[in-house]
Amino acid sequence: MDRQVRWCGVVTQVGEEVPAFAQAGMLVLFGENAPPELAAISLVHRTEVWNGPCAVGDILRLDGQPFRITAVGELANDHLRELGHVVIRFNGQHQPELQGDVCVEARPIPSLAPGAVLTIEAAPGAEATRAAGGQGERP
C-alpha cells in the first residue's frame, strides 16, 4: 500500500560542507534558488511534489532510507514550501531547537549525491485519523 507523498524533491547539488554537517547530525536542504553561501552547506534540490505539510509520525525517506519524524518546528513547513529550506536534525528530539527544524530519529545519515530522491510520506493511518476527526495535520 502506497502512503501519501506530502513532499518530494530531487537533489541537484551537494554543497562542499554537507559532509561536515552530516557528521554533526544534521542536513540543510535548500531549493535551487539558494545563494552561494547557503548552497555550500546545503543539499540543493528541486521540489517535485508539494501535497501539504509534514507532521510528527510521517516518514522522511532519503534515497529510500526511512526516518520517522519526531518533531516539526512551527515554521518548517512554510520554509519548505516557500524556499525549499529546512534543517533536518537526526537527534530523535520531540521538541525542535529552532522553528525551522524537523527532527527525525537518531540514526546514521546516508551519503547523498545529485539525483537522490527525498520524500516525506504521511504516517500510517494519518488519513484515517483526520477523517475520524482526530489530530492530524493542521491546514
Question: Active-site residue numbers?
Answer: 45
Q: How many CB atoms lie within 10 A of CB 99?
A: 12
Q: How many CB atoms lie within 10 A of CB 122?
A: 22
Do residues 58 and 121 touch, judged by C-beta distance below 8 A? yes
The CA-atom distances, in angstroms, between 130 and each of 57, 70, 136, 137, 138 are 14, 19, 5, 8, 10
Q: Which residues pair with 11 in a beta bridge?
A: 45
Do residues 74 and 41 touch, judged by C-beta distance below 8 A? no
Q: Which residues pair with 124 in a beta bridge?
A: none
